[in-house]
Structure 1
Amino acid sequence: MDTKLIGGKIAKARKEKNMSQAQLAQLLFISQQAVGKWERGESIPDIVTLNRLAEIFGVDLNYFSENFPSTADETAVKMSVAIDSNIEQAAQEEVASLPGSERQLLTDFSASNLAESDFAGVTAHKSKFDASTLLGSDFSGADLTGSSFKVGNARGANFDGANLTDCNFSILDLVDASFNKTILVRTEFNKTELTRAKFTNVTLIDVKLIMIDLRNTVFEKCTFSGVDFKYCDLRGTCLDGLTFTGVRFDKAALNEATFKGTTLRNVSFIPTFALTNKYYRAIKTICFDGAKMDKLTYAALKGIGADLSKVTII
C-alpha cells in the first residue's frame, strides 16, 4: 500500500473541505501530529479511521485505493455537477410546492466550525451536521427531524425541548449535553460518547442506543418504550423510578445497576455470553428492590437467577 499516495489524498480532501490539520484531528480525537504523519506518508490510518475519514470528506472508501480512477476526475466532477443540478432543481420545485409555513431551507452544515452557535427554535428537517464542531451549541426548541450528526464534537450542546425524531447520532462526542423534555422518537445513538449527558423528563420511543458507555449518563423522570440498549455498558447505572415497556437490554452489561422502584413490562434481558457461573453472579448484583413487573418479565429474570425477593408482580 502506497502510504505517500494515500497521504496525498487525505491532504487533498482535507483542503477541499477547507479544514486545517488541527480541525481534522479534533474530529478524529487524535493529535495534529498524527494527521501530519499521514499526509507526509510516514504512517497510514487503520481501516476504521479510513472509514471515518471517508465520512468526514464525503467520499467513497475506494477514494483511498491506489486503483481509484484519478484520470477520470474531471469527467466525474462534470457528472456530479449535472446530477447535483438536477437534484437541486427537483428539491426547489418540491419546496416551492409547499405552503409558505411548511417551506424550509435545505441545509448541509457538514465539516463546519459551529462552536457555540445559536440554532434555538429553528426548523431544519433532514439537515446534516456531519464532521462538524458543535461545542456548546444551542439547539433548544429546534425541530431537527431526520437530521444527521456523525463523527463530530457536540460537547455541552443544548437539545432541551428539541424534536430529534428520526435523527442519527453516530460516533459523536456528546459529553455534558442536555436533553430536557426532548422529543426522542426512532432516534439512534451509535458509538456515541454520553458521559455526564442528562436525559430528564423525556419519553424515549423506539430509540436505539448501540455500543455506548452509559455508566455516567443521567436518566431522570424518563419513560422508555421500545428502546434497545444493544451492547451498552450500564454497570452501576442508576435507573431507579423509571418506566420500561417493550425494552431490550440484550447483550448489555448490567452489573450492579439499580432498578429500584421501576416499572418493567415486557422487558428482555439476553446475556452477552453463555450462561456461566460468572454470568449468574453478575445478574445477582442487579438491584430490583421495590420494582413492579409483569409476569413474563418476572419469569425471564427469575430464570437467569436475578434476586426478585422485593419485587411486586403486576
Structure 2
Amino acid sequence: MEMKMIGSKIAEARKKINISQAELAERLFISPQAVGKWERGESIPDIITVNRLAEIFGVDLNYFSGNAPSAADETAFKMASDGIAGIEQTGAQATNESGSQELMNFSGSNLQGSDFSGVTAPKRKFNGSALRGADFSGADLTGSSFVGSDISETNFDRTNLTDCTFSANDLAGASFNETILVRTQFRSSALNDAKFTNASLIDVMLTKTDLRKTVFQNCVFNGVVFKYSDLSGVCFDKQTFTGVKFQSTSLHEATFHGATLRNVSFRATYALTNRFYRTLQTIRFDGATMDKLTYAALKGVGVDLSKVTII
C-alpha cells in the first residue's frame, strides 16, 4: 500500500478515538513529528509499530491491508514471504583460504528443522529464510545476519551470536540458554515466549521490539540498550544490570525484585510527560540494590524505593 494511503488510515483511526498526534506519539514512545510524517505520507511505521497501532485503534491488521513494514524492512519482509513460498536458494559463494568453495548465503532457503548444531559458520546470511525449529546449539555464527526470516522455536543454546543482526524476524519461542550475545542487534522482531536464560548480554541493542512475553531468567545485562521497545510486565527479578539504558521504552508494571542495578538509565528521548512518570512509578524494585546515581534518578521521578538497598 502506498505511504499516503497508510497515513490516511492512521489519521482516520486516530481521529475516530479522539486523540491528538502528540497523545498517539506518547503511547508509542516516539516523537509527534514521526506521527505527522506518517499521516502526511512521508514515511510509514515498521511492522511492530503497526501491531501496536492496531491495538491502540482497536482494529485488526487488515485495516492496514495486512502489510505495512517500514521502508527499510519492506524488502526483507517480501523476501521472507517469497522464501517461505519456496524460492530457490541464492547460492552465492565465496572462496576460503584453502581455495575451496564455501556456501555463504542461505537467503531464501527452506531449512525448517535443520541441524546446524556445533557448526562454525561466521558471516552467513539467512535473509528471507524459513528456519522454524532449526537447531543452532553450540554453533559459531559470529557476524551473521537474519533478516525477514521465520526463526520461531529455533534453538540458539550456547550459540556464539557475537556481532549478529536480527531484523524483522519471527523469533517466537526461540531459546537462548547460555548464548553468547555480544554487540548482537535485535530490531523490529517478534520475541513472544522466547527465553533468555543464564545468558550474558553485552552491548546488545534491542530496538522497536515487543518484549512483553519474552522470558529473561538469571541473565546479566552489561551496556545493553532497550530502545522504543515494549517491556510491559516483564520480570527482571534477581538479575544484574550495569550501564543499561531504557530509552523511550515502556516498563509498565515491570519488576526488578532483588535485582542489582548500577548506572542504569530510565529516560525518555522526548518530552518527559506525566504519563511517562506514572509508568515509571508502576515499576517494582522491592529488595533491589542500586548505586546512588540510579537511586537518585528514580527517586527524583517519584518511584517507590522504600525497600531498596543503596550500594
TM-score strictly above 0.5: yes
- Look up the match of 1:198: 195
Are 1:104 and 1:124, in contact at CA under 8 Å, matched by a contact in 2? no
2:174 matches 1:177: yes
The alignment-based identity, stated in percent, is 58
Please list the CA deviations of residues 250-292 of structure 1 after superposition, one character each: whole Å capped at 9, or x if unmatched: 1110111100000000001112653333332222111011010
Matches within 5 A, 1:114-263: 114-263=111-260
Please list the CA deviations of residues 95-116 of structure 1 after superposition, one character each: whole Å capped at 9, or x if unmatched: 238xxxxx99341000010000
2:292 matches 1:295: yes
Please list the CA deviations of residues 196-235 of structure 1 after superposition, one character each: whole Å capped at 9, or x if unmatched: 0000000000000001111110000100000000011011
Are 2:260 and 2:290, in contact at CA under 8 Å, matched by a contact in 1? yes
Query: In 2, Cα distance between the equivalents of 1:196 and 1:56?
Result: 22
Range 231-240 or range 268-277, more displaced? 268-277
Query: In 2, Cα distance between the equivalents of 1:205 and 1:192?
Result: 19
1:112 to 109, 112, 137: 109
Query: In 1, Cα distance between the equivalents of 2:295 and 2:306?
Result: 11
* Secondary structure at 2:298 match in 1: helix
For structure 1, the 5+ residue unaligned runs are 2-27, 30-43, 59-83, 98-102
2:267 matches 1:270: yes
- Look up the match of 1:33: none
Decide which structure has the larger Cα Rg and report it: 1
Query: In 2, Cα distance between the equivalents of 1:271 and 1:140?
Result: 37
Query: In 1, Cα distance between the equivalents of 2:244 and 2:70?
Result: 32
Distance 1:130 1:284, change over 3 A: same
Distance 1:104 1:175, change over 3 A: farther
- Look up the match of 1:96: 98
Distance 1:197 1:56, change over 3 A: closer
Please list the CA deviations of residues 152-193 of structure 1 after superposition, one character each: whole Å capped at 9, or x if unmatched: 101100000100000000000000000001000000000110
- Look up the match of 2:283: 286
Letter in 2 for 1:264: L
Aligned length: 239
TM-score (norm 2): 0.71
Are 1:125 and 1:145, in contact at CA under 8 Å, matched by a contact in 2? yes
Distance 1:231 1:104, change over 3 A: farther
Query: In 1, Cα distance between the equivalents of 2:196 and 2:227?
Result: 18
Are 2:77 and 2:168, in contact at CA under 8 Å, matched by a contact in 1? no
Which structure has more strand as a fraction of its residues? Answer: 2
Query: In 2, Cα distance between the equivalents of 1:54 and 1:144?
Result: 23
* Secondary structure at 2:241 match in 1: strand
TM-score (norm 1): 0.70
Distance 1:237 1:50, change over 3 A: closer
Range 129-138 or range 267-276, more displaced? 267-276
Which structure has more helix as a fraction of its residues? Answer: 1
Query: In 2, Cα distance between the equivalents of 1:288 and 1:194?
Result: 24
Are 1:106 and 1:124, in contact at CA under 8 Å, matched by a contact in 2? no
Are 2:69 and 2:77, in contact at CA under 8 Å, matched by a contact in 1? no
Letter in 2 for 1:111: G
Letter in 1 for 2:298: L
Letter in 1 for 2:251: L
Letter in 2 for 1:159: F
Please list the CA deviations of residues 40-69 of structure 1 after superposition, one character each: whole Å capped at 9, or x if unmatched: xxxx997847754534678xxxxxxxxxxx
Are 1:265 and 1:297, in contact at CA under 8 Å, matched by a contact in 2? yes
Are 1:283 and 1:306, in contact at CA under 8 Å, matched by a contact in 2? yes
